[in-house]
């Protein structure tokens, strides 16, 4: 019998997040890295010169969705106004890292 679930049932998903609000200077990147690692996700997070934070989260669907939910709150001192979520192709990352500002 063919696998009707296909590779999508267990294949990792990837989402690009753009987080807007007071999200720099409040430990957002370090907190995002800790949360992503706790959830077993790979990818990266970085500040952007426009004051936003950008992240790529790669992993199982439920864990990525949990990270997105966390991103709407962020660390205690953050004031998240909105989170843009874009579906992207899953890349292979070894871990979840902080990257330099662009």
Which active-site residues does the annotation give? 29, 47
Question: What burial letters (b/e) apply to 62-84, b meaning 16+ CB within 10 Å?
Answer: ebbebbeebbeebbeebebeebe
């Amino acid at each position: 019998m063919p696998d009707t679930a296909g590779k999508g049932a267990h294949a990792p998903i990837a989402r690009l997040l753009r987080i807007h609000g007071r999200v720099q200077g409040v430990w957002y990147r370090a907190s995002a890295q800790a949360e992503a690692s706790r959830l077993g996700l790979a990818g990266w997070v970085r500040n952007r010169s426009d004051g936003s934070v950008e992240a790529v989260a790669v992993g199982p669907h439920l864990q990525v969705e949990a990270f997105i939910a966390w991103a709407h709150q962020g660390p205690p001192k953050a004031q998240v106004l909105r989170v843009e979520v874009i579906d992207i192709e899953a890349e292979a990352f070894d871990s979840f890292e902080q990257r330099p500002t662009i």
